[in-house]
Amino acid sequence: MSHQETPSPATAATDAKRKRLQELREKQAERALKQEQEALDRELVEAELEEKYLSFGQRGVHFEIIGSPDGFVVVKLGDWLPYKKFLLGKRVNDAPIPEDVVAFALANLVYPERDKAVAIFDRYGGVATRCANALVAMHQGEAAERRGK
């Protein structure tokens, strides 16, 4: 009869750590694969939105796509009146008040529907600011001017 040795406590602890590390590495690999798939899905949605709205003209000149964790927002170069109202609106420390930023973005909203955009702006206030910044740049012709140089 063969006699099996009992592993030492140090060996058992090392084996347990190796097993736990392997489990964690497998979970990390699963998360990385999921993140890669999500990134591909987002990139595909963004490319489809760009293709869909090319009828407005060039991206960055006539429309822009702004990403958020909850999806994309598309704004387009619109009438000058909302732009003028935004520029002449209330300021705090030389910055427009949040209500005016959101109103300006919504006045030029193309995608998604208004309620979803409002929900995105409520959750990620900076997205409305990024939309407003893109709209200001479009109204000022920044991208068109850079392309012309």
> What integer best gives the mean pLDDT of the chain?
89
Mean local confidence (pLDDT), 98-124: 95
| Single pTM value for the model | 0.78
Tell me the pLDDT band of 46, cut-offs 50, 70 and 90: very high
Q: Is residue 17 part of a domain?
A: no
Answer yes or no: is 74 within a domain.
yes
Is residue 132 domain-resident? yes
> What residues does 76 pair with on adjacent strands?
63
Q: Is the pLDDT of residue 141 over 80?
A: yes
Does 85 map to a domain? yes
- Asked if the model's pLDDT at residue 89 lies above 60, the reply is yes
The count of other CB atoms within 10 Å of the CB of residue 82 is: 18
Residue 128 lies in a domain: yes
The full DSSP string for 53-112 is HGGG-SBTTTEEEEEETTEEEEEE---HHHHHHHHTS-EETTEE-HHHHHHHHHHTEEES
Q: What does the pLDDT read at residue 117?
A: 97
Tell whether 80 is covered by a domain: yes
pLDDT at 148: 59
Residue range of the domain that includes 113? 56-148
* Domains held by the chain: number: 1
Residue 103 lies in a domain: yes
pLDDT of residue 143: 65
Q: Among candidates 122, 121, 143, 141, which has minimal Cα distance to 131? A: 121
In a domain, 77, yes or no: yes
- What average pLDDT score do residues 99-125 get? 95
Tens-digit pLDDT profile for residues 52-85: 999 999 999 999 999 999 999 999 998 888 888 8
